[in-house]
Structure 1
Amino acid sequence: MNFDHSHYVPCLRWKQGEYQAVLRLHEKAKKKFTPLIQVPEFGYDFEKGKEPKVIDKHIEPFAKRVHDKWGKLPCFVDLKLINPSVRLENKTHPVKYVFDDLRRRGCYSIPVTGLGRDKAYQQAIKSILIKDKSGVCLRVSIEEAAKGSFATDINSLLSTLNVQVDNCDLIMDLVTPNFEPLDGFSKVIQNIVKKIPYLAKWRTFSLIGTSFPKSMGGIKTGVTNIPRHEWQIYKIIIHSFKKAGLRLPTFGDYAISHPDIPDLDWRVVKPKVKIRYTVDDKWYLVKGKNYRDYGYGQYHELSKQILNSGYYYGPTFSWGDKYIQQCANGGSTGHLTMWVGVDTNHHIEKVIQDIASFYDS
C-alpha cells in the first residue's frame, strides 16, 4: 500500500452509521481515501452494571462487516478501544482473532499499533506481520512524538516487531488539541515533525485530529457554526512545510465524531436530533429537540434548513445529500444511526473534494 499527501485518512469507529456511510460512497471516492478503522469499544452493560464478560460475540461480525462494506480495498485496523487484558473464551488475543478472520475473507488490512501497547499486543502484531507481509501502521500521539526519547522509542518498537521503516505507515494523532491560535500551533507541529526519525522513509505519513465537540449538550437548538480547525491548520501546515522542505503529511480527521467514547446510559438519555453538515472550513449544525419526546419528524424541518442554508451541495453530491433532499420533501426521517451515516457520507465526499481542490490550486 502506498499513497501521498493528496490522499485522505479518516478515523472511523466501525459501527452501523459509519460502515453504511462508507458502503454508499461514490466508487471513485473509495479510491481516494484509506480509512483508519477502529474496532468499536466493548460496550458497558447498564442493566447488569458491568462490561459483558464475553468478547467473542462483540468482535465476531467485525471482519465480515469490513469485507461487506469496504471490500478488499486497503484499510488500517486498530483495536486500541478494546481493553488490552480481554481475551476470547478460548484465550485467543482479540488482535489475532480479528486479523485471522480478515485474512480468511481476503481483506487488505494493515494492523495498527503504538508505543504504549503491551507486550501481548505487540506479539500479536508481530505474528500478523510474519503471516501477511503487508507491513504495519504506527499510531503515535503528539505528546509521544514531542519526547526527547521518541527516536529511541521508535527504534525499539521497530526492533521488537522486526520490521523496516519503509514497510511502516506513520500516523501522528493530534486527537483533540486546542488548535488556537492556529499559526502558533502549526509552528509547534512543525517543530515536532522535523525531529521525527526517518521522516522521508515511512511508507506513508499522516496527520489526523479533530475539533468536533465532545458533546452536543452545550450547543443550542437551531443553527450553530463549528470551525473545522483540523482542516484550517492543515492548510497552514502544508504551506509552511513546503517552505521548510519537510515531507507533506496526508490529512486525516475523525469525520463527524469526537474520539472520546461517551459514557452514557442510553436507556435514559434523550439525544436531540441534529444534522452535522460539512462545508468549507466548518460544520453547519442544525439541531432540534430530543427525539423521545418530540419524535424523528423534526428531521423534515432540519433537512429543509440545510436545503435553504445556501450551503447545500445538491442531491448528486453524495448519497447523504440525496437523503437530506428526500427527507425535506417528506420522505423517510430515519433514526439517529441513519443520520450518523448521512452526515458521515457527505463529510467524506466533501473532504475528498476539499483536498483535491486545495492541491489543484
Structure 2
Amino acid sequence: MNQHYYPVVRAKQGEFDAFKNMPNTVLNRCTPILEIPKISAKEYEVAARKSDTPYEYWMDNKAKKIAAVFKGKSIIVDASQWPVSFTTEGGSQVLGHMSSLLSSLGVIVNPVVGYARWDDAQYRQDIKNMTLKPGENFCIRLDEIALEDMADVEHFESIVEDICITIGVEASDIKVVVDIGDVTKLPISEITEIMDDSYSTLISLGFETIIITASSIPDSIEKAVKERDSSDTMVRKEMLAWKGFVSANPNANLSFGDYGIRNPRSSDIIAPDMNVKIRYTIENGFFIARGHSVRGIDGYGQSQKLSKVIVDSKHYLGSSFSWGDKKILDCSKGLFVGNSTGWIAIDTNHHVSAVTAEIFEFATTIAAQTSKSGASV
C-alpha cells in the first residue's frame, strides 16, 4: 500500500540522465513529481534567436526532452516555479501548455493544481479549461499556506472542495501531495506531527491517496559536512518520520516522497566557488564526501578522490546496484571526471534506486508484521 515512491525532481538534464539510466524494476515503483524550471536568461536568449515565440520554443524542446525519457510512463507535472500570471506568446498558461505537449508526445501526464494559487481567477479558469486523456488525472499539491489553513478545517475544506468540483473529480479519486518542504531545522517529532495532522484532515475530507514530501538535505554542503576535503553522514529526517508514522499506522495509505539529492530552495545557478561533492544515499541518511572549491586544486578532478572515499566506505552497495554506483566506481578508477550536471545525474540515479528499494523493503516488513499480528488475534 505504501510501496510507491514519489521523488520531487527538476526537469533538467541531470535528472533526465538519472532516470534514463534506470531499469524498469526501479521505474515501475516510482512516479516523479517533475518541476518545470523557469527559463534562464541564457536559455531565453538562445530561444529568441531561433524563434519569434521563444517561450513556446523553449517549452517545446523541454517537452521533447522529457518525453525522450518518460514516453509511455506516468509522471506528475508541476509548473509552480513560474509566476501564476505568466502566459506563453499564444496566451497559454504554462501547466496547460506543457501538459498538452507531453500528452501529445505519449507521456501520461498528471498536472499539479496548486492550492496556494487557487485564489487567482485566471488560474482557476485555466485549470478548468484543461482537457486530460483517459488515465490522466489532476493532483493537488499542498504547501506551507495549505498546512497553515488546515487549522481552520472549514476554510480549508471549502477550497479543496472547490478544486475538486472545478476539475470534476471526487476527492477519493485524486492524489494529494502534502509538501512540507525544507525540514532541515525541524525535529523529527514535529515532522511526524505534521504528517499525522495533515493525513487525518485529508482522510476526513474523503481523500484516499496521500503523498508526503520533504527534504532534510541543506541548501549548501557546508551545513552537512563542516570541513572541506572530508566526509560525514547525515540523517534523512523525512524518511525516519515517515517510517515512524507508518509503523504506528500500518493501514494508513501515506506514500513517501522527497526532493532527491537537492534542497527545495537550492539554486539552479552553478556558483563559481561551489564545492565538489558526492551525495550518496544510505539507509535513513546520506553519506557525503565533500571536496573543496571547483576553482581550487584539481577542480572537478577531485571527484576521483571523492569517488574512492565512497567506494572504500562500508556504505557502498557495489557497481551492480545502479548505474550511478557503476559511474562512481569508474570515476574512482580514474576513467572520467564529470561536471555538476553529470554528478546530479549520478547522485540522483543512486538515490532513487536506493530509496525505492528502502521503501519496498520497509513496507513489505510492516505488511508481514501486520498480517502476523492479525493472524494471532
Q: What is the TM-score normalised by the length of structure 2? A: 0.86
How many angstroms apart in 1 are the aligned matches of 2:260 and 2:90?
36
Cα deviation for residue 198 of structure 1 reads 4.8
Residue equivalent to 2:235: 227
Aligned runs of 1:172-183 on 2, under 5 Å?
Answer: 172-177=178-183, 180-183=186-189
Cα offset, 1:33, TM superposition = 0.5
Deviations 1:5-63 (A, max 9, x none): 11000001011111110110122111001110111123356999xxx995234322222
Task: Pick from 320, 325, 348 the counterpart of residue 321 of structure 1.
Answer: 325
Match of 2:312 among 305, 308, 312: 308
Deviation at 1:176, TM superposition (A): 1.2
Give, in whole Å, the separation in 2 of the partners of 1:24 and 1:214: 26
- Percent identity over the alignment is 26
| 2:344 corresponds to | 340
Residues 129-186 of structure 1, C-alpha deviations (whole Å, 9 max, x = no match): 4555722100012551433121122112222323222331111111113564323442
Residue pair 1:72, 1:106 contacting (<8 A) in 2 also = yes
Matched, 1:156 2:162: yes
Matched, 1:106 2:118: no
State the Cα distance separating 1:231 from its structure 2 match: 0.5
Q: Does 1:210 align with 2:215?
A: yes
Which of 217, 231, 245 is the equivalent residue of 1:237? 245
Distance in 2 between the 1:45 and 1:329 partners?
35
Cα distance in 1, alignment partners of residues 244 and 235 from structure 2: 15
Aligned-partner Cα distance in 1 for 2:24–2:43: 40
Q: Distance in 1 between matches of 2:256 and 2:41?
A: 32
**Cα separation, partners in 2 of 1:338 and 1:143, compared to 1, 3 Å:** same
Which of the numbers 34, 37, 41 marks the counterpart of 2:38? 41
Q: Is the 8 A contact 1:300 1:327 kept in 2?
A: yes
Q: Structure 2: any 5+ residue segments left out of the alignment?
A: 366-377
Q: Which whole-Å CA distance do the structure 2 matches of 1:307 and 1:261 have between them?
A: 27
Judge which range, 193-202 or 167-176, deviates more.
193-202
The question of whether the paired residues in 2 share the 8 Å contact of 1:270 and 1:292 is answered with yes
* 3-state SS, counterpart of residue 111 of structure 2: strand
SS in 2 for 1:194: helix
Aligned-residue offset at 1:78: 0.6
Change (3 A) 1:45 1:189: same
Aligned length: 349
Q: CA deviation at 1:191?
A: 2.7
Structure 1 residues 88 and 136: CA distance shift in structure 2, 3 A: same
Classify 1:194/1:68 alpha carbon distance in 2 versus 1 (closer, same or farther; 3 Å): same
Choose from 290, 294, 297 the match for 2:293: 290
Aligned to 1:136: 138
Distance 1:198 1:279, change over 3 A: same
How far 1:201 moved relative to its partner? Answer: 4.1
Question: What letter corresponds to residue 306 of structure 1 in structure 2?
Answer: I
Aligned 8 A contact 1:111 1:125 in 2: no
User: What displacement does 1:119 show?
Assistant: 2.7
Separation in 1, partners of 2:331, 2:132: 49
In structure 1, what is the Cα distance between the partners aligned to 2:203 and 2:240?
26
* Range 248-257 or range 114-123, more displaced: 114-123
2:241 & 2:295 partners in 1: Cα distance? 38
Per-residue deviation at 1:122?
Answer: 2.8
Q: 1:181 and 1:289, CA in 2 relative to 1: closer, same or farther beyond 3 A?
A: closer
User: Which of 18, 22, 39 is residue 15 of structure 2 equivalent to?
Assistant: 18
AA partner of residue 171 (structure 1): V
Residue segments in structure 1 that go unaligned for 5+ positions in a row: none
CA–CA distance in structure 2, aligned partners of residues 97 and 217 of structure 1: 39
Structure with a larger share of its residues in helix? 2
Aligned-partner SS, 1:170: strand
Aligned residue number for residue 199 of structure 2: 193
Question: Residue type matched to 1:42 in 2?
Answer: I
The residue type equivalent to 1:356 in the other structure is F
Query: Is the Cα–Cα contact under 8 Å of residues 55 and 87 in structure 1 kept in the other structure?
Result: no
Letter in 2 for 1:207: I
Corresponding residue for residue 373 of structure 2: none
Are positions 1:358 and 2:346 aligned together?
no
Give the Cα separation in 1 of the matches to 2:79 and 2:44. Answer: 25
- Offset of residue 284 of structure 1: 0.6
| Alpha-carbon shift at residue 291 of structure 1 (Å) | 1.8
Q: TM-score, normalised by structure 1?
A: 0.89
* d(CA) in 2 for partners of 1:86, 1:12: 22
User: In the alignment, residue 232 of structure 1 is paired with which amino acid?
Assistant: L
**Hey, what does 2:369 align to over in structure 1?**
none
Deviates more, 1:95-104 or 1:172-181: 172-181
**Aligned counterparts of 2:204 and 2:18: Cα–Cα separation in 1:** 35
Q: Secondary structure at the match of 2:300?
A: coil
